[in-house]
Structures are given as structure tokens and as C-alpha cells.
A = this chain, B = another copy of it.
Amino acid sequence: MAETSPLAPGAFPELPAVAGVRLAAHAAGLRYQERADLFLAEIAEGTTVAGVFTSSLCPSAPVDWCRRILPNGTARAVVCNSGNANAFTGRAGETSAQMTAEVIAAELRTRPDEVFLASTGVIGETLPDAALAAALPALVSGLAPSSPAGWRAAADSIRTTDTFAKGSFAAIAGTEAAVVGIAKGSGMIAPDMATMLAFVFTDLEVPAPLLQAALNASVERSFNRITVDSDTSTSDTVLAFATGADGAHAGVVDSPGYTAFRAALDTVLLDLAHQVVRDGEGATKFVTVTVTGAEHETAAKRIALSIANSPLVKTALAAEDANWGRIVMAVGKAGERADRDALTIHIGPELVASQGVVHPDYSEARATRHLQGDEVDIIVDVGIGDGAATVWTCDLTHGYIDINAGYRS
């Protein structure tokens, strides 16, 4: 496995138990050897569920499956394998998905349409159904109440090119409940959604429609605002489960309980999204791009993503080169209104350009000093209106080429 990203957080967090969630991880040897490649969460009866999926028009079989069962609004389990995406596998892929849900449902004495599925890894290869079927009972028998060690093992089992396991949690103000999430993803990351899986659990009781509304809003400001390489996976999945086992209720829209839940969910998803960027393939810089003064928020997001996805901007950042002309280029190609002659650009605290020309006090040495850090801020005002948005990305380095010109696992 590759070296841990230099941008990784210090340590995997101590994720608390979530009442009503049992966890298992198992080494089935489907592709990876000597590591867990299957993850299962069993969730208490009555759990509500919400999901957001890839915008790809060639989605994987598990994404099709989840979309089909999501409208029921309830869940009893989620199963994930790593190493094989079960995407572009035709009828065989559907069969693998159906079989997995049926075996797990039988083992857990529930219905297949309450078993959610995710797969991540290589596209276009069928899953070894016999080996998978044989491994599922062992996976189930490993279930244990959620715990810090269980979350850690779960987060490890869903990794592919990830160089570190990703987890996050937040307490829900005014309750004993929490939001806990794990995620994977380091390449093929782009809005809307990435090669990225995230599973989020809360012991609060949240009705499915409110859970879905909260998840949609939270994903839009987290996973849909990160980009590593502008590519979008066939498999992206974010699932949120509310067991209600804590006994506390989220209440109704605009209630303090629901507001507190949404704040905790936002915190967890944004933290997980940032961790995905910090594990961007080959990344050496964590880059925050903020655009203000756009026609509206959507325009601001589009301009920010144009900057964040530009290979020329990202290679300049890798080289710690304050080549801000490339930022202008990326603003210009975004296709959104911008007043070239009112453009203001900051690199970190340094005012690079204002009124469409380089600022008289601009110091390239100071801008370069900012770029030499691990965390880079680019702030652009396009001089049109009040629209603002922030997105996060990383630089483009030799490491990205190394990983992707070799990866097939």
C-alpha cells in the first residue's frame, strides 16, 4: 500500500458507539489478500434511511439496487465490498447484487429490500459470486456492537487507493445522540459525487423524508464541493441511517432537534469530504478555493470548480509557483459572468490583483511563501454580484500519474 498522504489527519478518531448499530469486517480475498474487503453494518429495526448517488448515467449495479429500494425509507443492513465496483457487469452484476442482499437478509432474518449495497474498485469485472456467497455468513457471524475498534476496522475494509482510513463524528446538541460516519475515496473525485462511499449513522430518530432533506443539503455543501481530478465514478454513494435507538427524536422541520442534527451531519460530511481531498491521489497541498462576487451561488460554485479542476492551476500549485495568470484563465473558461476589469485575486493573505491588473504592492515572494505551506487559499472576486461558494481540491503531482498509470486494484 502507498505511503500515507502527507495531508492526512494525525490519527483516526475514536468514533463512539451508535445505539442500534452492529459492525463487522471480513477478509474474503475477493481481490485484496490479507486484509478485510467486506463491511457489514446491521441496523436496528425501524431504522430510517436516506441516500444520494452518483450522477453517472452508467451507474453500478449496487447503485441501481439502492435507488430501487430507497423509497421504502427503512433499512436493516448495509454491505460493502472493496476491490470490485460491480459496475458495467450487465445481468451478472444484477445477479451478484440480488444474491448478496438475499443471503444477508436470510442471515439477519429481514427482507432483501432492506439491505443496502455498495461496491468500490475495478469496473467491468464480474464479482466471484461463489466466493462472495461463501464469505457472507462468516461476515455476519463477526457482527459486534459498534465501538471505536469496530468503526476503525470498518473504515479500513472499504479502502481502495485510500492511504488512510476516514472517519468522523459529532455530538448532536441537546441530546445524548451523535452522528458517526466512515468514508472512502481518493481519486475519480468530482461533483456531483466522487468515487466515494460514505456511510453515516445516528441513534437519533429522524423520519426518512427529513433525513433525506438533511442529507441532500449536507452533500451539496460537502461532497459536491470537492474535486480531485474532475472524474466522476459509477459508484458514488452516501447513505445515512437513523436508528432512533437513542430514544431522542429529531422532531420536525425548524425544530431545535432537527436543526442540531443537521448541524452535526454537516460537520461530519464536511470533515469526511475534506479527508477525501486530503487523500487525493498524489496530493501535497490542501487547496481551498473561494469565489465571491458572482452572479449567484451556482455561478460562484462553477467558477470555483473551474479553478479547482484546472490542470494548469493544479500543476502550478504543486510547484509552489504563484502563476496567477492561470487562475484568470480558469475564471475565463468557466462560462459564467465575470468582469475581467474588476477581478480581485488573493493567494492566501496576499492581494495579487485588483481592478483587473496586478496590484502595485503585490509581492510574489510573499505569495510563494503562502504556497509553500500544506494549506493553500485562493480567493477570487469576479465583480458581478453577491454569489459566493467555496470548494476544496488538491494539487496535481507526479504522484497522481504514478498511482493512476499503475492502479488496477
Contacts and interface: CB of A to CB of B under 8 A. Distances in A.
A333 B231 contact: yes
Nearest to A325: B123
Tell me how many chains of this kind the complex includes.
2
A54 B333 CA distance: 9
Contacts of A124: 324-325, 328, 353, 358
A334 B232 CA distance: 9
Contacts of A356: 88, 90
Contacts of A131: none
Contact of A332 (B232, B325, B333, B398): B232
Contacts of A1: none
B328 A234 contact: yes
Contact of A404 (B316, B328, B341): B316
Given A229-B311, A325-B87, A355-B90, A59 B405 contact: no
Interface string A224-240: 00000111111000000
A7 interface: no
A105 interface: no
A351 interface: no
A58 B323 CA distance: 16
A349 B85 CA distance: 27
A58 B355 contact: no
Contacts of A57: 331-338, 340
Contacts of A324: 124
Interface in A120-171: 122-125
A406 interface: yes
Interface string A181-195: 000000110100000
A175 interface: no
Interface of A: 54-59, 85, 87-92, 122-125, 187-188, 190, 229-234, 309-312, 315-316, 318-319, 321, 323-326, 328-338, 340-341, 343, 353, 355-358, 396-398, 400-401, 404-406, 408
Among all A-B residue pairs, the 8 with the closest Cβ atoms:
A123-B325, A58-B332, A56-B332, A319-B405, A90-B357, A315-B404, A232-B333, A124-B325
Given A55-B333, A57-B331, A58-B331, 15 more contacts: A57-B340, A90-B357, A124-B324, A124-B328, A187-B312, A230-B309, A231-B311, A234-B328, A234-B329, A311-B311, A315-B405, A316-B404, A319-B404, A323-B408, A397-B401
